[in-house]
Structure 1
Amino acid sequence: MTMLAPLRAALACTLILCFFTLHSWATIAEEPVKERIKDAGYIGSQQCASCHLQAFKDWQGSHHQLAMQHANNDTVLADFADRQFTYNGITSSFYKKGDEFWVKTDSADGSLQDYKIAYTFGVSPLQQYLIAFEDGRLQALSIAWDSRSVAQGGQRWFHLYPEDKMTHSDALHWTRQSQNWNSQCADCHSTNLQKNYQPGSNRYQSTWSEISVGCESCHGPGAAHVVWSDNKEANKDGNKGLQRDAGKARQWLRQDGAATAVINSRHDIDGDRQINNCGRCHARRSPIHDDKASVFSDQLLDTHMLSLIEPPLYYVDGQIKEEVFVHGSFIQSKMQQRGVVCSNCHNPHSLALKQQGNALCAQCHNPNQFDRSEHHHHAAKSTGAQCVNCHMPATSYMVVDPRRDHSLRVPRPDISQQLGVPNACNQCHDDQTVAWAAAAFSQWYPHRVKQPHPAFSLFAGEQANRLAVPQLAALARDSAQAAIIRASALQRLSAYPEPYAINTAVSLLQAPQPLIRVAALRVLTAMPLEQRMANVWPLLADPVKAVRLEATRLLAAAIVPAALPAALSEQQKKQLQLAIDEAMASANSLADTPTGQMQLGVMYEYMQQTDKAKNAYQHARLLEPNFIPALLNLADLHRSQGQDGLALPLLLQSLNSSPESPEVHFSLGLLYIRLKQLKLALSHLQQAAEIATNSAHYSYVHGVALFENGEPEQAIDVLKRALKQHPRQPDIVSALVAYLQRMGRAEEASAYAAQLP
C-alpha cells in the first residue's frame, strides 16, 4: 500500500489556521560519547544495567535498541554484493568498498551519484538506510531492504512507493524535506536528540546522547537517578531523581466466572501518564516544543499536537487509514477509557506481547465466554477465531509492514454498507460482498446493529451539510464518548461559522480534556477578534501548552494597537506578549520544516510584520520548493499589497505542482477576476467547486461569478445544485433569493426565502 497520494494531499493542505555537513557529522561522531552524555545529565543505557538487569536484557535486541545503528558488517542486513534495482526507469546499484556500504542512485537533480551509507534505520520487517550530506542532513533512501524470510517474500530490495513512479522533482523523493531524518525521524529514533538547526546557513549540527532509543528516551536523563540510588534520602519528592515517570501497568482482577476483569486500583488522571509517554512517538502528531529544552511533562499536548480523526489519516468511523502509529486509535477504545494501558499487553522493554494468541486477551476476558464458537462463529483455532483478526485488523504500510488497528472495535459491516468504510469481516472474506457480511453479522449480533455510532455524525460533518451541525454538537457534548471522538466532531464544526457551532465551542472551552479545548478554539476562528477576547483570553494561561498556543493564534492580532476599539491594558499587553513569545519559540523549534516556517509567517502576519512573514514563507519554499501552503500564503500577501503580478507566478507554480488542489484553483479564480480575465477566472472557480464538492463556499462563489459575468441561468443552475448538496446553506439561499428577484421570478424567490433563518 502506498502513502504517496495522501502525503501529497497533506503537503497541499492550507496551514494558515493550523497551530499546529559531512565534516560536521564526522566531527560530531568523533566526540567522546561520555562527554556529550554527561553535559546533559544522560548516562547511557549501559549504566542502567547494573541495577535494572532484567529490563536491560529485555531491551537488548528490541526494535528500540536497534532503531538506528552505524552501518557496518554486523548491522547491515541488505545484500550489497553488486546488486541492482530498477524503479521508474532508473537503475540503482548497491555495492561495497572494503567494509563500507555504497549506493549509486538518482540525486536531487536526477543524475546518478554515488553515496556512502552512514546508518541503518530499523531492522524488521524492513531496513532503511541513511545517507549523510555535507550540510548535516541525513536523508532516508526510499529503496529499502525487505528483511523478512524468502518464504515470506523477503530478502529483496524494494521501493517504498512502488505504484507512484516518483522522480527527483517529487516532494517525496529521498533527497527532499519529507525524507529528512533530522526533522522527520530523529526525535523518536535516538535518545536526547538536539537538532541544532541553523536557519541562516540552512545547516544542521545535530547530536544525540545515544544513537537509538535507550532507557533515557522514556525515563529521562539518569544522572540524578544514580545520585538518588546512592542516597535515597537526598530526594524527597518521590520521583527517584527521574524527570519523567513512565507510568505503570494497572492491576486487573477477574473474579471466578466473571466475563471481564475489573481494575484493581483507582482510575484517575495519572493513568494517562504511560499512554502519553508512549504516544510521544507512537502517535500521528506534530511537535510543539523547543527541542533544546528538557521537556518531560506527563501531558502529551505539552510537547506535541495530536492529529484528530480526519481524512486522509482515518476512515470516518475512526479506523486507521494512513499510518497513524497506534495512539490515536487506542484512545478511541473502550479499553483505554476503562483503564488499560500499553504495558498491560506489551513488555515495555522488549516490546514483545506478554502472551501469544488469544491468551493475551484472556488475561482479562474470560475464554470460557469469548474464546468459543458461540461468540466468534468460526471454527476453533482457525484464523477467524483469533481475537485480533476481528477486533484489531491489520493494514500494511511501507509495503511490507502490517500494523494492527488499536481501537479494538467490534466489526460493523452494516456501517460499511452505509458509509463505505472497511470492516474486519470482508478483510478476511474478500471473496464475499459487504451485504453478505452484514447479513451474517445482523443474524449473529442483532443488538449490535441497533447501537448508534459516531461515524454517522462525523460523516455528515464531512459533507458540509448544514443539517450536520446539531449532530456534531451533540457528539461533541457526549461525555460517554472518547475525547478524541468528541474533539474530532467539534473540529468539524469549524466548517460552519454560525451561532450554533460557535456557541457549542464556547460551551466546551473549559472541558477537562485538553484535546477538546484545542478543538473548541479552532471553531472560534470565525468569531471577530473583539468577541474572542472575553471567551479566549483565559486560555492564554491554560496549564496545557497546545491549548495556550491555539488561544494565542486567535488573539495574536490584538497586539497591534489598532486591532481593537479599546486598547489593551499594560498587564494585558505583557500577558499577550508572553504568549506570543511562547508561540514563536514553538514555531522556531520547527524552523527546519516548511510547517514551522508557515507558523512563523502566520504569526508575523498577525502582528503586521509583513517583511518577516515574507521571509518565513520564502524559507519554507527553500526547504520544499513546491510547498503549497507557503506558495498560497505568499501569493495572498502579495495580493494584500496590490502586487497581483507577483502573486500569479506563485499560483501557477502551485497549480503545476498540485493540479487537483481546490485551494489553488480557487485562489487563481479570484486572482483572474481582479485581473479582469473572467473566462480564466470562471474556469478555475468551476474546477475548485467540482474538486471540493463538500465546500459550499466554492460553489457559492462560482455561482456569484457567473451571475456577475452576465450568465444568470448558469448561475441559478450552479446555486440550485449546490443547495441540494448543502441544504439551507445561508449564503447560497440568499444568493438565489436575490438573483431570482432581479430576474423577475418573485414567486420562486419567495420559496427560497422561506429557507432563510
Structure 2
Amino acid sequence: MEGDEATGIQSRLESQAIGPVGKNDRNSAPLEPEVTLTTSQLRPVADLQAGFVASETCLQCHAEEHQSWDASFHRTMTQIIREETAPESIVNKQVVVNGKRYAFERHEDAFFVTYADPFRGGMVLRRELLMMTGSHHMHVFWHASDHLGTPAQLDIVYLIEEERWIPRDSSFLQPPDHHAGLELGTWNRTCSRCHSTHPRERSNEQTLEWDTRVAEFGIACEACHGEGKGHVLRHSNREDEDSEESLTTEAVTDLVVNPAKLSKRRSADVCGQCHSVFLPDYDVVSLQEYEQTGNPFRPGDRLDEIGFSRVVRATDEHRDSETFQRWSEMEDVGGAFWSDGMPRIAGREYNGLIESACFQQGEMTCLSCHQMHPPEVPGTDRETQLASWRNDQLGQGMAGDDACLQCHAEMGEQIEMHTHHAVDSHGSRCMNCHMPHTTYGLLKTIRSHQISSPSIEQSRVSDRANACSLCHLDRGFHWVANHLHDWYGQPLPDREAPGNEVDLSTSALHLLSGDAAQRAVQVAAMGWAPAQEASGTEWMEPYLLLALNDPYDAIRIVAEKSLRTLPNRVSKPMDAMAPAGQRMHAFNAAIEAIDKSLQMEPKPEVLVDEEGRFDFLRAREFLERRNHQPIHLRE
C-alpha cells in the first residue's frame, strides 16, 4: 500500500456507490451496510516488484533528467487525483452535458462527482474520483465503482484547450450509432498497458474485480530505461555486509539502458512498445502469466525477438502475414491504416517509422528528432524551456528543416530547386511535403511519421490525401498530377472520368463524398494556416458549415474549431454539440447569409459557380455519393 494511503483515507458511505443521493427517488435501491475502504483498495495500486525502484530513486543521481521527465506529459499519462493534481474543472463545479447534470465537489482531501451513474442503472450517486488519464489535450476521469480495484470511466471528458466538457463517445471518431458501452475495467485491461509503468492486470472473472498493480502511474523512468534495482546497487556506496554478495546475484544485474546509445532498431523499439499497433501473442506468454507478471519486453530488447507484442504492418508486402491477417479479422472495418498501409491514427508512430526509407536504409530513429531530456539552454528560463519542449518533446531545431537537413545536408543549398516553391514559403518546408497531417487523433491531426513523397500513382489508388492536396485544398488530383509530372517526371494517369469536366479539389471531394476519416483530415486542414494561405479561405465556410452537421460528433467538433480560424467569417457561431434541429436551423440561416453577402471569384474546383456563389445543388449530388463505411479510429 502506498505511504499516503496507509494512513487510511476513509471512503464514506455516500461516496462509494453504496446507495442513492436523494431520499425520494422511486428507483432507489435500499442502502447497503456501511463499509470502510481505503482509496487504494478502490483503484489500482502502485506496487514495486521485479527490480523496479520508482522515479524518486532516480532523482538522487539524475536531478536534471528527473526535472525534464517531471515536466513531460509522459509522467502525467495517469495521475492519482489529489490536491496538487486535480484540475479546476472538477473543483466545486456543476455542468450539464447533453441534458445530464454533473456536480463536482471537493471534500477535505478527496474529490467527488454526483451524477446518474450508468454502472448502476442511472441511479444518481456520489462517486469518488480516483484517477485521470491524459492531461495534454483532454482529461479522462475514473471514479470508484462497486468493484474493488476497478475504476469506472466517467462518461464525459474535459477538453483542455477548449475549456469544455463533451460526452466520452464524442471524443472518438466512431459512427453515431456506436457506443463504447460501459467502461468498467477498461483502465485495468487496456489503458494501463501504455498509460502506466510495468502494469500487471490481474483480473478475477468470478468477482469482476481487478487487483491491478503498476510500478508507477504514468510513463516513468523505468519504462524507457529498464528496472533500476541493480543499477542503484552497483552505483551506490553501500558498505553493508550483504552488498558484495547481493551484487553477484542475477537479481541485481544492472539492467538500465540508455536508448540513445542503443542500435536504431532497439532504440525505436523502446518507443514502439507503446507507440505501435500490435497484437499480444499469448502463445509466447500465456494470458495468465501476462496478467500476473506483465509484458516480458524490457528496454534494450527487440520487439520481434521477444515475440509477445507482434507489430502489425499493413503495407502491401505484409498483407499476407499471419499478424496482419489476425489483426484484420479482429478489427472493425476502417481501422488504424489508410488503404496503402500508412498509419492514420495518432500514437502509432512506430508503425510509420519502420516503413520509412530513412529508417530502413538510413539511421533514422525516434531520437533523431525527439529528445526526452533536453539540456538547459543558456540564457533561457528552464521552466519556460520545458513548457515549450513538452508539447512534442523535440530536440532543439527539430521542429523545422534542420530535422531533415541533419541527414540530407546536400538539400540545404538547393531547396527551391527541389521544391519549386519560394525558399521561405510553406511549400519549401520539408515536413509539409514528406510528413503531412494525415494522422488523426484527439480531435486533431498530426504529422505522419511514415516519411513519404507525394506520388501520382499512390494518390490515384489510395484513400489518403497527399501532401500537395493538404496545402492546396482548392486544387484537384489532375492539377497536382500535372505539377508532379512537370517537376519530377512522374507518369501522368489517364483521366478516368471523361464525362466529368471539372477537376474537383481533393478537399471538396473528400468532404462531400469521402468516408469519416477523410472528412476528419480535411476539416482539420481547413484550420491550418499554411493551407489557408495557399488556398484562400472564402470558399471554405460552406464546407465547414456542412461539416457542422456531420453525423460524426468528432468531425463536428473539429469543424467548429476550424471555423473559428477563418477571417471574415459570415456565419454566426454554432455549437457542434447542439441538437441536430438547432444545428440545421443555424445552418440554413448561415447559408442564406452567405448567399446574400459573399461574392467569390469563380472556382469550379470547389463548386463556386460563375456568379461567385457556392453551388449547393451540385454539392448535394456529391453528398449523395458519400462513403458511409463505418470508421472506428481506436486511439
Instruction: With the length of structure 1 as denominator, give the TM-score of the two structures.
Output: 0.47
Question: Residue 315 of structure 1: CA displacement?
Answer: 1.4
Q: What's the counterpart of residue 140 of structure 1? A: 153
1:27 aligned to 2:38?
Answer: no
Kindly report which structure 2 residues correspond to 1:329-728, keeping only aligned pairs within 5 A, or say none: 329-337=352-360, 338-349=362-373, 352-354=393-395, 355=397, 356-366=399-409, 368-369=411-412, 372-395=415-438, 397-447=440-490
Bigger fraction of residues in helix: 1
String of CA shifts for 1:191-246, please: whole Å, max 9, x gaps: 22222211222210112222221111122221111112138999799999343645
1:220 aligned to 2:226?
Answer: yes
Distance 1:146 1:395, change over 3 A: farther
Q: What's the counterpart of residue 87 of structure 2? A: 77
The residue matched to 1:162 in structure 2 has which SS? helix
Structure 1 counterpart of 2:275, from 273, 282, 295: 282
Structure 2 counterpart of 1:65, from 58, 75, 94: 75
CA contact 1:78–1:147 (8 Å) conserved in 2: no
Measure, in 2, the Cα distance between the counterparts of 1:176 and 1:389: 38
Measure, in 1, the Cα distance between the counterparts of 2:342 and 2:39: 41
Indicate the structure whose relative CO is greater, using CA pairs within 8 Å and at least 6 residues apart: 2
Q: What's the counterpart of residue 164 of structure 2? A: 156
Kindly report which structure 2 residues correspond to 1:160-199, keeping only aligned pairs within 5 A, or say none: 160-162=168-170, 172-173=180-181, 175-176=182-183, 180-199=186-205
Measure, in 1, the Cα distance between the counterparts of 2:123 and 2:42: 29
Distance 1:65 1:106, change over 3 A: same
Q: What's the counterpart of residue 293 of structure 1? A: 293
The code of the aligned residue for 1:216 comes to: E
Count of matched residue pairs:
400
Structure 1: gaps spanning 5 or more residues = 1-20, 149-153, 251-269, 451-690, 693-757
CA contact 1:106–1:168 (8 Å) conserved in 2: no
The code of the aligned residue for 2:196 comes to: S
Measure, in 1, the Cα distance between the counterparts of 2:343 and 2:125: 38
The residue matched to 2:79 in structure 1 has which SS? strand
Measure, in 2, the Cα distance between the counterparts of 1:219 and 1:22: 39
Q: What's the counterpart of residue 243 of structure 1? A: 255
Instruction: With the length of structure 2 as denominator, give the TM-score of the two structures.
Output: 0.56
Q: What's the counterpart of residue 211 of structure 1? A: 217
The residue matched to 1:130 in structure 2 has which SS? strand
Distance 1:245 1:97, change over 3 A: closer
Question: Residue 447 of structure 1: CA displacement?
Answer: 4.9
Measure, in 1, the Cα distance between the counterparts of 2:425 and 2:364: 27
The residue matched to 2:216 in structure 1 has which SS? coil
The residue matched to 2:424 in structure 1 has which SS? coil
Structure 2 counterpart of 1:44, from 20, 43, 54: 54
Measure, in 1, the Cα distance between the counterparts of 2:441 and 2:70: 25
CA contact 2:77–2:219 (8 Å) conserved in 1: yes
1:98 aligned to 2:116?
Answer: no
The code of the aligned residue for 1:98 comes to: H
Question: Residue 283 of structure 1: CA displacement?
Answer: 0.8
Measure, in 2, the Cα distance between the counterparts of 1:244 and 1:416: 45
Measure, in 2, the Cα distance between the counterparts of 1:332 and 1:165: 25
The residue matched to 1:378 in structure 2 has which SS? coil
Distance 1:139 1:28, change over 3 A: closer
The residue matched to 1:40 in structure 2 has which SS? coil
The residue matched to 1:141 in structure 2 has which SS? strand
The code of the aligned residue for 1:206 comes to: T
Question: Residue 394 of structure 1: CA displacement?
Answer: 2.1
Question: Residue 76 of structure 1: CA displacement?
Answer: 3.2
CA contact 1:44–1:214 (8 Å) conserved in 2: yes
The residue matched to 1:120 in structure 2 has which SS? strand
The code of the aligned residue for 1:394 comes to: H
Distance 1:188 1:221, change over 3 A: same
Structure 1 counterpart of 2:338, from 303, 306, 315: 315
Question: Residue 48 of structure 1: CA displacement?
Answer: 0.9
Measure, in 2, the Cα distance between the counterparts of 1:411 and 1:352: 27
Question: Residue 299 of structure 1: CA displacement?
Answer: 2.3
The residue matched to 1:55 in structure 2 has which SS? helix
The residue matched to 2:197 in structure 1 has which SS? coil
Question: Residue 399 of structure 1: CA displacement?
Answer: 4.4
Q: Percent identity?
A: 23
Question: Residue 347 of structure 1: CA displacement?
Answer: 0.9
Question: Residue 171 of structure 1: CA displacement?
Answer: 5.0
Measure, in 2, the Cα distance between the counterparts of 1:408 and 1:397: 16
